[in-house]
Amino acid sequence: MGKIIITSSSAQAQKGRPPEPAGTSGTRQKINEQISAKELRVIDEENKMLGIMSKQEALRLAELRELDLVEIAPQANPPVAKIIDYGKFIYEQQKREKHQRKQQAQQQLKEIRFKWRTDTHDFNFKVRHARDFIGEGNKVKASVMFRGREITHQEVGKELLNRFIAAMEDISKVDQQVRSEGKNLSVILVPDKTKKKS
């Protein structure tokens, strides 16, 4: 039986901008008096469109609600601004970024290696491991190894990888199509969240 190899590849209705929490990345939005546009398309905290109004009118409305006016789409015509709790907005933004970084850090590339003449038992054993890896949220690279003149049997290797893709299709999708890497053939699969794990 061949080896299985793992590799890692609160509201502040003030005219100035509230302090931004440490660690926040991305583009900084203009807030309250920092907004330079004279006219804005305004959305409220419940995502209801309030229509186009002057900046001063929008600022008065935000102040009445004890919230902030934040420009969220400066390139639009007119720019789009939202009446929101800016502190909460930044907190939610930080939380999303932290979650994304955590997901990226956790996902690893696991490798399953086949010989070009892999029997059914060995194939099924490795498919089970690959399904476990996908279930854990990892990428899986399946490779068929050739030695010497075995490279002349690439069609057998391609057929093997296509069988592997078919055996995994209910929980994964192809991220990198079957391709040649020196004397090996490989394919990379990633979890498909639109599919239900069996």
**Residue 2 confidence (pLDDT):** 46
**Residue 49 confidence (pLDDT):** 93
Q: Per residue in 70-101, pLDDT tens?
A: 998 999 999 999 999 888 888 888 888 887 77
Topology of domain 107-191 in CATH is: Translation Initiation Factor IF3 (3.30.110)
**Residue 59 confidence (pLDDT):** 93
Q: Per residue in 32-55, pLDDT tens?
A: 899 999 999 999 888 899 999 999
**Residue 26 confidence (pLDDT):** 46
The residue behind tokens 């299985």 is: 4
Q: Are 161 and 144 in contact (CB under 8 A)?
A: yes
- pLDDT band at 105; cut points 50, 70, 90: low
Extents of the domains making up the chain: 32-101, 107-191
- Other Cβ atoms within 10 Å of 156 Cβ, number: 16
Output the average pLDDT for the chain: 81
Mean pLDDT of 135-139: 89
Mean pLDDT of 147-159: 82
| Residues shown for the chain | 198
Mean pLDDT of 132-144: 92
Q: Are 137 and 166 in contact (CB under 8 A)?
A: no
Contacts 24+ apart (CB under 8 A), 192-197: 195/170, 195/171, 196/170, 196/171, 197/131, 197/135, 197/170, 197/171
pLDDT at 12 > cutoff 70? no
- pLDDT band at 104; cut points 50, 70, 90: low
pLDDT at 187 > cutoff 90? yes
**Residue 134 confidence (pLDDT):** 92
pLDDT at 6 > cutoff 60? no
Mean pLDDT of 175-179: 91
Write the CATH number of the domain with boundaries 32-101: 3.10.20.80
